[in-house]
Chains A and B, each alone.
Chain A
Amino acid sequence: MSVTRAAPGREQVVQIPPPCHVPGPDGPWEQVQERIEQTGRAVVHTTWGQWLTPALLDPGLRLLLGRDWPRYRQHPAPAGRLCFAVSRVVVKYAAAAALQIPADRLDLAYLPGGRPVLRGLGTDLQVSLTHTDELIVVGVSRAGPVGVDAEPAGRPISFELLRDHVCTAEEAELLAGLPEEERTERFLRLWTLKEAYTKALGHGMRRRFSALGFAWDETGAARLTADTAGEWTFATHLVEERFLVSEAHRRDTAPAAPGGIRAPAAVDVPVRLPSAEPPQGARVIGFPGRRGPGKR
């Protein structure tokens, strides 16, 4: 069951469900597969401590890590080494769940620049990985590029120092008018959204964040101002009660399913919330000045 919960008082009901919590290689993966079938994408979160023992005790770890095995073995810091291995294992298991195949049939590769890809699968299945502290988040998509980013919700961050780097003029003006605590929280959300978007594009931090404008609709949902065609969807969730997780997804036409693997249904079908969700259901964190009437 997901431990995701929305921040009190700032949530808006939306169609994008929170990331699925998967505590180990054995799953449960049904919710991930259900979301893949319904929307073409799913986001998984866990902590590397939860996966550590089963991952390291797996006699097939070397095969599973493949070309990442030397990097794992040569990683200079013990904690970083374990997180590196576990995060790659989570990517493979999440992708394997999406395709409903064994994880060791997949080869995780990297494009020049570092973007992770599943070798040979092209746009048939795209992945994104982020980790911060002990949290690991993986996005998988059979219906267009996906990007995920996470930060500790309480991370100290200087708006004054970073505003010109992260914000457009409009965003900076909006944030500047907020109380400091709320501004920091909103600023962090904006940052993770831009990270998720540029990771979905495969550009990462090479793309200037201050040239990417985000706006918020009356429900508090984020949208990219340049995305006039409405191709992109964004969401931010509070996960494990202390991590902000943002995801970005471009809704491409689903490709033909390779090898008999069923293609996802139309990607615009509203997501039915699994019954295992917490009572408050799927919620995202809103943004100041763009909420519905009576919300502020």
Chain B
Amino acid sequence: MALTRPVPRAGRPPTTRTPPEGAEPAEGAAQYAARLEALLGDPRDPGNPYGRSALWAAGHDALPPPPAGLPGAGQARPAADRLARALRPLFRRDLALAHAWSIRPLLSAPVPHPAAVLLGPAALLAAAGGVLRGTARIVDDLSRYEPATRQWRPVLASIFADLLACESLTAVALRFCPAEGPGTGGGPTGSGASEQSGASFAAVVGYLVPQLVGDLLGDLELVLNECGFAGNTPERRILAKIVRDRAFAGVDWTAATAAQARIVRGLSAAGGAWRPDDGTELAARFRIAEAVPAEAPGTDGPQAVAATLAGATARLADADDADTAALARVARRLVIEQRALRAACAATDVHDPADPAARALADRQALLVLAAAALGVREAAAGARPSFLGGSGWALLALGRIAERLGLPLPGRTPDPQPGVWDELARRAAYGVDCDLHATGLLW
């Protein structure tokens, strides 16, 4: 199977630090992903059973069988974040295919993989990132001779920042998953506390990601439409297929409301005893390039991550660049919001998932966990190469939009991070790099 263009960064290990001795090598997941991507073939090849045309025609009932060499459920049980990374090419390729081949079998196996419920949102993010990359390439090309097209750059930059924040949340949630499923008793990370922690995180991810990505897909449809891509073009059909596949893959609003109900039931705990994290306990959970530490996480993952927001914000103080100083100002608004939310959660003993006020509290809680995850991942990547993820631009854009969603006024004198975020997006689109946290080079 011939490659259609050179691979800019294929086969490279993920970005930041060297994994600790004895840890599961990240290269394994990256290598598996590269092999999987090659097996799936060129998505633009009309003769490829895993190509866009064939998958569009297959619908949900006639999906092709997996290629030889793709391990099924129950064979290998890698750590959750490694599993998601290894399957990323499948997620990028087609949401329905990802669900049929991997997510559904992992959910329905005699011992379901603890990460299975997080893979749907992970697949949705990967698929949406593919559309974003394609749309960014279109806008970048058109804007060279149609200046009006440049109006869409800030829109796409904002989508990119939102996706990176959601990727951060999902990655951290995956790193809270126990290594083994329930009942397997697999050592310290197989504890009930760990399982509960992963389940709580799955609720936040399962509620927030379908909702936010739904909004982003609407914006992508707008940009494609305004760039002259009508509903019958391949670009719009790819997008329409993701929208259509969401219910099949369990990442639509119906699934999100079920997840939201689980967040609501935990709101009383969110208003309970509060122990701000000084940044050391959970730092390893944010270092996405490293293996997950062996010790069991706390009893509630989302709360533990939310508790890092104040510390991460404090460490931004005395920043000497404008973006980071602005990020600190926005983050401080979110810390204040967190205090108010905690008081509101504590005001009621038992929150009812049917109460719209409780559902609103759950929404605020989930957005603050999202902000904390994005800030934590950015901080953990600071100083690493490539430098984009550790920079403040995308985080400032993402946290500013979270503040906007929360109804918080943005502080004055906030610099506009969109041009820098757009530059990174345009570069990734031009050179075939995924919109993920690892800036993974793509084969096709």
Q: Do A and B bind each other?
A: yes
Number of interface residues of A (CB under 8 A): 34
The answer, among A122, A202, A208, for a CB contact under 8 Å with B257, is A122
Residue numbers in B under 8 Å from A56 (CB-CB): none
For the complex, is A259 an interface residue (Cβ under 8 Å from B)?
yes
* Secondary structure dominating the interface of B: helix
Q: List 8 A-B contacts (CB under 8 A).
A: A67-B406, A109-B405, A110-B407, A111-B405, A112-B401, A123-B253, A208-B226, A259-B353
Residues on B with beta carbons closer than 8 Å to the beta carbon of A123: 253
Asked if A110 contacts B404 (CB within 8 A), the reply is yes
- Give min CB distance, A226 to chain B, whole Å: 7
Contact check, B215 vs A111: say whether CB atoms are below 8 A apart. Answer: yes
Give complex CA distance A154, B139 in Å: 40
Judge whether B218 and A119 touch: CB under 8 Å.
Answer: no
Residue B92 at the chain A interface, CB threshold 8 Å: no
Most buried by B among A99, A112, A206: A112
Q: Mark B80-122, 1 if CB is under 8 A from A, else 0.
A: 0000000000000000000000000000000000000000000
- Selected contact of B253 from candidates A107, A110, A122, CB within 8 Å: A122
Do A119 and B364 have beta carbons less than 8 Å apart? yes
A85 to chain B, nearest CB (A): 15
Query: Is B363 an interface position by the 8 A CB rule?
Result: yes
CA distance A66 to B225 in the complex (A): 36
A105 and B352 alpha carbons, distance in the complex (Å): 12
Asked if A207 and B226 sit within 8 Å, CB to CB, the answer is yes
B418 within 8 A of A: no
Contacts of B158 in A (CB 8 A): 112
In the complex, which residues 36-95 of chain A have their Cβ closer than 8 Å to any Cβ of chain B? 66-68, 70
Q: Given A101, A110, A120, which contacts B362 in the complex, CB threshold below 8 Å? A: A120
Interface residues on B, range: 20 to 34
- In the complex the two chains form, is B222's CB within 8 Å of A207's CB? yes
Q: Does A3 contact B (CB under 8 A)?
A: no
CA of A112 to CA of B215, assembled, Å: 10
Closest 8 CB pairs of A and B: A259-B354, A67-B407, A120-B359, A107-B360, A120-B363, A119-B360, A120-B360, A105-B357
Taking CB atoms, residues of chain B closer than 8 Å to A208 are 226
Check B6 for interface membership: any CB of A closer than 8 A: no
Residues A99-157 near B (CB distance < 8 A): 99, 101, 105-107, 109-112, 118-124
Instruction: Pick the residue among A112, A121, A207, A256 that contacts B356 (CB under 8 A).
Output: A121
A203 at the interface (CB under 8 A from B): yes
A164: min CB distance to chain B, Å: 14
Q: Which chain A residues numbered 194 to 210 have a C-beta less than 8 Å away from chain B?
A: 201-203, 206-208
Q: How far is the CA of A26 from the CA of B401 in the complex (A)?
A: 36
**Complex CA–CA separation, A201 to B231 (angstroms):** 15
**In the complex, A142→B362 CA distance in Å?**
20
State the CA gap A204–B316 with chains docked (Å).
Answer: 37
- Whether A203 lies near B218 (C-beta < 8 A) is yes
The yes or no answer to B254 lying at the interface (CB within 8 A) is yes
Question: Closest CB of chain A to B165's CB: distance in Å?
Answer: 12
Residue interface bits A210-239, CB-to-B below 8 A is 1, else 0 = 010000000000000010000000000000
B366 to chain A, nearest CB (A): 9
Question: Quick check: is B437 within 8 A (CB to CB) of the other chain?
Answer: no
A68 to B408, CA, bound (A): 10
A255 at the interface (CB under 8 A from B): yes
Given contacts A67-B407, A119-B360, A121-B359, are A255 and B354 in contact (CB under 8 A)? no
- Taken together as a complex, chains A and B put the C-alpha atoms of A90 and B14 apart, in Å, by 52
Given contacts A201-B218, A202-B215, A260-B354, 7 further A-B contacts (CB under 8 A): A67-B408, A101-B356, A118-B360, A119-B359, A119-B360, A203-B222, A207-B226
CB-CB < 8 A to A294: which residues of B?
A: none
Name the B residues within 8 Å of A66 (CB-CB): 407
The reply to whether B353 and A258 contact each other, CB–CB distance below 8 Å, is yes
List B198-240 residues whose CB lies under 8 Å from chain A: 211, 215, 218, 222, 225-226, 231
A178 at the interface (CB under 8 A from B): no
A261 near B: Cβ within 8 Å?
A: yes
User: Which residue, of B253, B354, B360, has the highest number of chain A Cβ atoms within 10 A?
Assistant: B360
How many angstroms between the C-alpha atoms of A105 and B226 in the bound complex?
A: 38
Q: A39–B70 Cα gap in the complex (Å)?
A: 48
Q: Is the CB–CB distance between A99 and B215 below 8 Å?
A: no
| B228-287 contacts to A (CB < 8 Å) | 231, 253-254, 256-257, 260
Q: Which residues of B contact A255 (CB under 8 A)?
A: 253-254, 257
Q: Which residues of A are found within 8 Å of B293, using beta-carbon distances?
A: none
With A112-B158, A112-B405 as contacts: A207 and B225 at CB distance below 8 Å: yes
Q: How far is the CA of A84 from the CA of B27 in the complex (A)?
A: 56
Contacts of B218 in A (CB 8 A): 201-203
- Minimum CB–CB distance for B144 against chain A, Å: 21
Contact string, B403-442, partner A, CB cutoff 8 A, digits 1/0? 0111111000000000000000000000000000000000
For B361, list chain A residues within 8 Å (CB).
120
A70 to B157, CA, bound (A): 29
Interface centre among A66, A99, A105 (most CB of B within 10 A): A105
Residues in B whose Cβ lies below 8 Å from that of A67: 406-408
Question: Which residues of chain B come closer than 8 Å to A118, judged between CB atoms?
Answer: 356, 360
Q: Answer whether A112 and B354 are a contact pair too, CB < 8 Å, given A120-B363, A207-B225.
A: no
**Closest CB-CB distance, B34 to chain A, in whole Å?**
36
Q: Across the interface, which residues of B come within 8 angstroms of A119, CB to CB?
A: 359-360, 363-364
